[in-house]
C-alpha cells in the first residue's frame, strides 16, 4: 500500500517537474525562467527525499539540504543581477 | 507495510506531490510573471512541507533533518519569491491585461 | 548585558541546528559543534535579528505560540484557494498591486510580516518601503489602503506586534 502511494507521489512530482520545465524553456521573461528554476529545485528536493527512502540512504538528505541552500542563493543572485544589469 | 504510520506517511507524500503538481500547473497556466510567482511559491512550499512530513512518518529517525529542511524552505522560499517579484517589477515585467491596479507603478512614477 | 544575552541566544540556536543536522549525541560530534557555535556566536553577534529583536517576554512567547497555527492555517487555506483557481477552466483571476501600511517598527517584524503575506491567500509582497508594503494580489478585493490593510495585514500584525513590535 505505502509502496503504491510512493509511486503515485513520485509520478505527481514528475508531472510537476515537466510542467515547470515547460515554463523554463518557454519563458518568456528571465524572471519567468528563474521562478520555473526555483520550482524545479523545490520539486527536486521532494524527489531526492523519495530517492533517499527507496535507496534507504539518509545521507541523501544532506544533498537535499545543500541543494535548497544553493537554489536560494542562486535565485537571489540572479534577481540582483536582473535589477542592476538591465 | 500495513503499519498505520506508513499509511499516513504515504498519504501525506501524495498530498504534498499533488500540491507540487498544482504549483506546476499554475506556473504554466497563470497569465503573467507575478501570478506565476504566486502559484510557484505557495504551492511548492506547502507541497514540500507535506512531503517532508510524510517522509518523517515513514522514517521517524530522519525526522530532525527533515524538519531542518522544512524550516529552511519555509523561511527562504518567500524571501526568494519577493526578491524575484521586486526584480521583475523594477525591470518592467509585462503584466496581464486583467491587471486592475498597480499602486507601485503609480508611486514610482512609471507608466502603469 | 544585552550583548551577552544575544550571544547566548545565537549560540543556543546554532547548537540546536548542529544537533538536528547530525542527529547524534556522540561526545566528539557535540564537542565540535560546541566550539563552532561559540566561535560563530561571538563573531556574528549582531547578525541574527530574528533572535535579538524578539522581545522574549511571556506575552511574546504566547503570541508566537498562537502565531504558528494561525500561519499554518492561512498557508493551507491559500493553497486550496490557489488550487481552485488553477484547476478552474476559465482561470478566475483579477490581479493587481495594492498598497498597505504596517504599524510594525522592527526590521525583523516587517520581514516576518512580508514573508507571511507572501505565503498566504493570493498575496505576494513586491516591494517594501518603510511602513508601506506593495502587495501583488491575485484577486483584488479592494484598492483602498485602509481596507486592503485590514484584510491582508491585520491578521498577522496582531501577533507580530507583541513578538517584535
How many CB atoms sit inside 10 A of residue B30's CB? Answer: 24
pLDDT at B1 over 60: no
Residue B12 in domain: yes
State the complex-level ipTM: 0.83
Contact criterion met (CB < 8 Å) for B17 and A72? no
Q: Which tens digit of pLDDT belongs to each residue from A42-77?
A: 899 999 988 888 888 888 888 888 888 888 888 888
- B80: in domain: yes
Over residues C115-125, the mean pLDDT reads 82
- CA of B39 vs chain A CAs: smallest distance (Å): 10
Query: Is residue C122 a contact partner of residue C138, using CB atoms and an 8 Å limit?
Result: yes
- Residue range(s) defining the domain that contains residue B15: 4-92
**Which of B99, C114, B33 is CA-nearest to residue A39?**
B33
**What is the tens place of the pLDDT at every residue in C75-112?**
888 888 888 888 888 777 778 888 888 887 777 778 88
The alpha helices in chain C, defined as continuous H runs, are 2-22, 27-43, 49-52, 58-87, 107-118, 145-152, 154-163
Which residue does chain B place closest to A43, by CA atoms?
A: B20
Residue B26 domain flag? yes
A12 vs B11, B17, B54: nearest CB: B17
- Global pTM? 0.82
Decide if B111 is inside a domain.
no
For residue B22, pLDDT over 60 is answered with yes
Q: Which residues contact B13 (CB under 8 A, 6 or more apart)?
A: A5, A6, A9, A50, B50, B51, B54, B55, B58
Neighbours of A (≥3 Cβ pairs closer than 8 A)? Answer: B
Q: How much is the pLDDT for C2?
A: 61
Q: Is residue B9 part of a domain?
A: yes
CA distance B60 to B96: 45
Q: C98, B102 in Cβ contact below 8 A?
A: no
Rounded CA gap, A5 and C61, in Å? Answer: 39
What is d(CA C10, CA C48) in angstroms, rounded to the nearest whole number?
7
Among the partner-chain residues B68, B89, B96, the one whose CB lies closest to the CB of C127 is B89
Would residue B37 count as lying in a domain? yes
Domain count, chain B: 1
Neighbours of chain B (3+ CB pairs under 8 A): A, C
pLDDT in tens, C30-64: 888 888 888 877 777 665 555 556 666 777 788 78
- Grid cell 523561511 is found at B75
Report the alpha-carbon angle C12-C13-C18, nearest 5. Answer: 95
Domains in chain A, ordered, with CATH?
A: 2-85 (1.10.287)
Query: Tell me: the pLDDT tens digits for C17-33?
Result: 888 777 777 777 788 88
- Name the minimum distance, in Å, from the CA of B1 to any CA of chain A: 7
Would you state the pLDDT for residue A2?
A: 72
Q: C79: which chain B residues are within 8 Å (Cβ-Cβ)?
A: 19, 22, 42-43, 46
- The answer to whether residue B112 sits within a structural domain is no
Amino acid at each position: 500500500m505505502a509502496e503504491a502511494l510512493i509511486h503515485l507521489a513520485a509520478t505527481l512530482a514528475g508531472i510537476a517537474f515537466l510542467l515547470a520545465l515547460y515554463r523554463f524553456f518557454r519563458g518568456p521573461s528571465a524572471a519567468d525562467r528563474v521562478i520555473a528554476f526555483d520550482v524545479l529545485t523545490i520539486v527536486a528536493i521532494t524527489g531526492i527525499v523519495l530517492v533517499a527512502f527507496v535507496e534507504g540512504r539518509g545521507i541523501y538528505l544532506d544533498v537535499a539540504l545543500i541543494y535548497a541552500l544553493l537554489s536560494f542563493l542562486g535565485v537571489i543572485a540572479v534577481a540582483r543581477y536582473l535589477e542592476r544589469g538591465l | 507495510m500495513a503499519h498505520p504510520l506508513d499509511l499516513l506517511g504515504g498519504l501525506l507524500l501524495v498530498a504534498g506531490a499533488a500540491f507540487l503538481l498544482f504549483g506546476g500547473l499554475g506556473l504554466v497556466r497563470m497569465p503573467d510573471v507575478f501570478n506565476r510567482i504566486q502559484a510557484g511559491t505557495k504551492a511548492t512550499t506547502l507541497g514540500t512541507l507535506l512531503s517532508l512530513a510524510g517522509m518523517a512518518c515513514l522514517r521517524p529517525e530522519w525526522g530532525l533533518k527533515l524538519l531542518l529542511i522544512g524550516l529552511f524552505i519555509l523561511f527562504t522560499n518567500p524571501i526568494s519569491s519577493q526578491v524575484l517579484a521586486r526584480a521583475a517589477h523594477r525591470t518592467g515585467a509585462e503584466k496581464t491585461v486583467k491587471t486592475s491596479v498597480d499602486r507601485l507603478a503609480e508611486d514610482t512614477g512609471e507608466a502603469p | 548585558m544585552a550583548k551577552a544575552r544575544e550571544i547566548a541566544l545565537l549560540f543556543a540556536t546554532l547548537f540546536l541546528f548542529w544537533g538536528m543536522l547530525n542527529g547524534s549525541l556522540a561526545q566528539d560530534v557535540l564537542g565540535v559543534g560546541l566550539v563552532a557555535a561559540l566561535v560563530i556566536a561571538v563573531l556574528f553577534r549582531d547578525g541574527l535579528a530574528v533572535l535579538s529583536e524578539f522581545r522574549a517576554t511571556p506575552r511574546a512567547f504566547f503570541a508566537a505560540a498562537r502565531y504558528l497555527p494561525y500561519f499554518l492555517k492561512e498557508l493551507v487555506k491559500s493553497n486550496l484557494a490557489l488550487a481552485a483557481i488553477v484547476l478552474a477552466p476559465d482561470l478566475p483571476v483579477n490581479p493587481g498591486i495594492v498598497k498597505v501600511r504596517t504599524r510594525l517598527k522592527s526590521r525583523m517584524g516587517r520581514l516576518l510580516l512580508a514573508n507571511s503575506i507572501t505565503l498566504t491567500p493570493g498575496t505576494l509582497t513586491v516591494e517594501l518601503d518603510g511602513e508601506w508594503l506593495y502587495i501583488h494580489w491575485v484577486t483584488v478585493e479592494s484598492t483602498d489602503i485602509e481596507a486592503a490593510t485590514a484584510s491582508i495585514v491585520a491578521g498577522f500584525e496582531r501577533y507580530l506586534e507583541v513578538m517584535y513590535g
